Amino acid sequence: MFTTLISTTKLANLLQEKSVVLFDCRFDLNEITAGREAFDAAHIPGALYAHLENDLSSRVTVSSGRHPLPNVDQFLSWLGNQGVSPDSQVVVYDDMGGAMAARLWWLLKWVGHRDVALLDGGYHKWLRDRLEITAGSPAPMAFEYLSTPDNSLWLTSEQVSGALASEEILLVDARMRERYRGDEEPLDIKAGHIPGAMNMPFKDNLDEKGCFRRADDLNKHFSSILSNTKEIVHMCGSGVTACHNIIAMEHAGIHGSKLYAGSWSEWITVDARPIVLGK
């Protein structure tokens, strides 16, 4: 079964051989209807649409980040209604190198679903390979999906603050360098980064064609954060693209890193929490 990445060729073969639950996770943070509109126009055959804010997040509050983790009962109900059972092979994709789809990959890992993979190269690679697309959608057979989430896989803002103070964790920020430094901030009300956080933009996980770099290459890429004995915790703007660094490390054979789910947009909801501008 596939648990990290799957190639377009293998997915095409898998769709012919057996049942796969396939999710299209295309989403534009600046135009929230664009992903669904693109899906309705054309998508990989058999795919269902997963909306970042409606399906993969809970409601924003004054103390949360922009994409709080979904309520677990609602998320499990949504999975079951989409035809996902604990034995399903799930595949997720988007058109941003996995930046959005990695969120659903991580959420499924959070609730204990082993067989979930991200389509390497995503929708763009599928089109380049001239594989079939359609505008039709299947009617899934609903299941009751029962599971208990593993909440040890993520940290709250309070846990991050305490762990940074005691130097127990290494915080890795997946945002682009300009946002990390605070040169620009297109999405959140404050710019900068958390003191002590190391910047490793998620786009550095990809090659020039938008596919993940080879596992050995990514292992070398992450070597700078492997020499310490601290627990590695990934963050970004709202806990979405941070999951890209997690799957990249898993692909590279580096297991056990965790997610700061609220990330920057939750950190800045409390004025007393420190921020840094610059490198």
The tally of domains found in the chain comes to 2
**Do 92 and 24 belong to one domain?**
yes
pLDDT at 157 over 90: yes
Domain annotation covers residue 177: yes
96 falls in which pLDDT band (50, 70, 90)? very high
Q: In what order do the strands lie in the sheet containing 154-155?
A: 154-155, 258-260, 231-235, 169-173, 198-199
Mean pLDDT for 150-170 is 96
Domain annotation covers residue 272: no
Domain annotation covers residue 277: no
Check residue 16 and report its DSSP letter.
Answer: H
Give the CATH number, domain containing residue 98.
3.40.250.10
Q: At what angle do helices 242-251 and 101-110 cross, to 10 degrees?
A: 70
Domain annotation covers residue 144: no
**Do 111 and 156 belong to one domain?**
no
**Do 262 and 155 belong to one domain?**
yes
The reported pLDDT for the residue numbered 190 is 97
**Is this model's pTM higher than 0.85 or not?**
yes
Domain annotation covers residue 146: no
The reported pLDDT for the residue numbered 257 is 96
Q: What is the pLDDT of residues 176-190, one digit of tens each?
A: 999 999 999 999 999
How would DSSP label each residue in 94-162? -SSTTTTHHHHHHHHHHTT---EEEETTHHHHHHHTT---BS----PPP--------GGGEE-HHHHHH
The reported pLDDT for the residue numbered 206 is 98
Is 236 noted as a catalytic residue in this protein?
yes
Domain annotation covers residue 276: no
Total length of the chain: 279
279 falls in which pLDDT band (50, 70, 90)? confident
pLDDT at 12 over 80: yes
140 falls in which pLDDT band (50, 70, 90)? confident
Domain annotation covers residue 253: yes
Mean pLDDT for 143-172 is 96
121 phi-psi bin (left φ>0, alpha ψ -120 to 50, beta other): left
Domain annotation covers residue 207: yes
CB 49 within 8 A of CB 24: yes
Backbone angles phi, psi at 35, to 5 degrees: -65, -45
pLDDT at 229 over 80: no
Q: What is the mean pLDDT of the chain?
A: 96
Q: Which domain holds residue 198?
A: 151-267
Of 25, 211, 236, 243, the active-site residue reads 236
99 falls in which pLDDT band (50, 70, 90)? very high
